[in-house]
Amino acid sequence: MTGELTGQIAVVTGAGRGIGRALAIRFAQAGCEVAAVARTDGQLRETVEIIEAAGGRSIYVVADVTNPHAVQAMVQSVQADLGPIDLLINNAGRALAIGPIWEADPDEWWLDIETNLRGAFLCCRAVIPEMLVRQRGRIINIASGHALGPSPYFYSSSKAALLRLTDCLANELTLQEAGVRVFAVSPGMVETRMTEYLFTSDAGRKWLPQLANVPRGTTDRVVELAVLLASGSADVLSGRFIQIADNVLEMVQHVEKIRQQGLYSLRLHKLPGPNRP
């Protein structure tokens, strides 16, 4: 146990496998008591067993993050078992609607939106009231670099919306002088079951052949970035979108420029001229 976050209570969604499991394990190593959340009981049990075998403390809660009643019950359960929530990591994600809009299954597309955007919204909505009372808390939304440019599948739409949710929420919390910070993070192309589907499914091979040549990384860099943000070292960057290649400590040094120019966030850029601020 490294102890950077000793005594804090962390909730990690999508913690049954992949990036979510890696985040849960690393936050436990950093000294957190971790609530692992996902829809699959067996996978969550494995995550908790790994954490406890290493000497950490963890519980799991089976919950669908797209269901407001399930999310509220999950938060109440965590608070009862572990205590007030200090950290929320919105990692639960879905990417099954692959292809151009005229080919995509509308129900699959909407389920992607619900998981990636509504799920994060509901979890934020459930934990923030107690954070406001305590005047402390940090939220990390796992986003994607695909949000920043054209992409042939609609996962990108949900992740772009998640960036704006992060931005808007950070502004609202700043106005409240709440002491609560929120960030969006891109993990890069990590080898997980979700990305494997993009590479190997019929739709993936048809519409995303270029991904077959994209190097897949490990979870190491994103979990270290998440721990750094959770430590409070970059609170001045609340609301920003941070990718694993970014130098966070350098960003902190240039925070005024970042704010003035709207860097590390989604913005509409226009031609210079009259009435074009």
Quick one: which H or E segment has residue 81? helix 68-81
- In angstroms, the CA 227 to CA 3 distance is 11
For the chain, list the domains and their CATH numbers: 9-190+218-261 (3.40.50.720)
- Report pTM: 0.91
pLDDT, position 195: 65
pLDDT, position 150: 58
Q: Express each pLDDT in 209-225 by its tens digit.
A: 676 676 666 789 999 99
Mean confidence (pLDDT) of the chain: 89
Q: Express each pLDDT in 244-253 by its tens digit.
A: 999 999 999 9
| CA distances to 114, 177, 229, 271 from 239, in Å | 21, 14, 12, 25
Q: What is the mean pLDDT of residues 226-252?
A: 96
Residue 190 reports pLDDT greater than 80: no
Task: Please answer whether residues 155 and 146 qualify as being in contact, where contact means their C-beta atoms are separated by less than 8 angstroms.
Answer: yes
pLDDT, position 256: 97
Residue 230 reports pLDDT greater than 70: yes
Judge whether 153 counts as a catalytic residue: no
pLDDT, position 153: 61
Angle at 56 between CA 38 and CA 50, to 5 degrees: 55
In terms of C-beta density within 10 A (0-12 exposed, 13-18 middle, 19 or more buried), how is residue 260 classed?
exposed
Catalytic residue among 153, 155, 197, 264: 155
